[in-house]
Amino acid sequence: RKEVEQDPGPFNVPEGATVAFNCTYSNSASQSFFWYRQDCRKEPKLLMSVYSSGNEDGRFTAQLNRASQYISLLIRDSKLSDSATYLCVVIFYGQNFVFGPGTRLSVLP
């Protein structure tokens, strides 16, 4: 079983739609959680950290469920510019990041 798994995608949604991505991780001792965004043929960039209490940044909401070892990302009112691959990232031991395979989102006009 992979350490970090994500919805396989791709997700094709119309502009204005709400879309949710799921991520599960295998190690219950995981320490920190993030969502990164990667545009086509570009480097990953931090989208947001994920906190136990949940957190929101504009149209983006991240949730963490430690008991179920599950992380989610909700995007409301999708824009064309949200089209990208979304990477779930977990820190298991110390400071090394473990990346999920990513979920590709295409927002259609």
Residues at the contact surface with another protein, assessed by CB under 8 A? 4, 31-32, 34, 41-46, 49, 87, 91, 94-102
- The whole-angstrom separation of Cα 44 and Cα 50 is 17
Spatial CA neighbour of 104 closest among 7, 3, 34: 7
To another protein, the closest distance from the beta carbon of 64 in angstroms equals 14
CA atoms within 13 A on the CB side of 108: 5
Q: Nearer to another protein by C-beta: 12 or 31?
A: 31
- The whole-angstrom separation of Cα 31 and Cα 42 is 27
To another protein, the closest distance from the beta carbon of 14 in angstroms equals 26
Q: Nearer to another protein by C-beta: 28 or 96?
A: 96
Q: What CA dihedral angle connects 71, 72, 73 and 75, to 10 degrees?
A: -170
Q: Nearer to another protein by C-beta: 2 or 59?
A: 2
To another protein, the closest distance from the beta carbon of 18 in angstroms equals 25
To another protein, the closest distance from the beta carbon of 109 in angstroms equals 27
Q: Nearer to another protein by C-beta: 53 or 109?
A: 53
- The whole-angstrom separation of Cα 62 and Cα 40 is 23
